[in-house]
Amino acid sequence: MEKKIFMARVADQSERYEDMVDFLKDIIEDTSEDVSMDVKNLLSVGFKNLISSQRSAYKTVQAIEQNKKYAEYSSDCAEYKEKISKELEANCKKIINIVLEKSLPKATDDEAKVFYLKMIGDYYRYTAETAKGDKLAEVTENARKYYEDATAAAKSLKPYNSNKLGLALNFSVFHYELKNDSAKACTIAEEALNGARDEIDNMGNDEARDALSIIELLKENLDLWKEEEGNDDNAIEDL
């Protein structure tokens, strides 16, 4: 186990993220219990980095495709985008299957369940970034389902729990970007911020460190979304 954790870190440092994910999959499969928070953090890093190049590449090609100066190459760019989209979908599916089949069944407490359910929702959301038609509808609905399940599991967690706040952040982004529902996005972000604000005096140092960076992102998003709606009257108080 320790050898594979070490090698996962080596793969991370070497930016060999496919290898990192394979090492982490072996770690998950080798234990009958849920993995430690240290390994969960490695999962977050490895999974995110595995798909980051495809997400970035897709946006770059899309920007070039939309540039009128390169209109004669638009069909070539569209074909290239499709190739990148399929790679992204395959990697997201690989991650979802690992979490759904190997990790989630071993989660015994609500915090672990929230961590994994949110992660599944996230990777369906990332798939949706480049999907179209029926596939877009399917992965958007799957993302919504797992975010909803994570939200139900998070009810027992403290309002300033970093997993609960991270879920609120990503679920609000889901509603804003995929559902075009800025009102719902604002509601989720505002409820999370208000809950954390009411309990801020109860945070320990470690809890505060983990929570404050997410709280800041929630505030930034909320301010932006309210400004776009022309609804700047109900500004969130500083925490």
CB contact at 8 A, 157 and 210? no
Q: Is the pLDDT of residue 72 over 60?
A: yes
Over the stretch 146-160, which tens digit does the pLDDT of each residue have?
999 999 999 999 999
pLDDT recorded at residue 1: 84
C-alpha span between 173 and 151 (Å, rounded): 14
DSSP category for residue 232: -
C-alpha span between 11 and 206 (Å, rounded): 28
pLDDT recorded at residue 211: 87
Residue whose token pair is 């240290």: 38
**Whole-angstrom Cα Rg for the chain:** 19
Over the stretch 170-196, which tens digit does the pLDDT of each residue have?
999 999 999 999 999 999 999 999 998
CB contact at 8 A, 192 and 159? yes
- Which helix (H) or strand (E) covers residue 124, if one does? helix 110-128
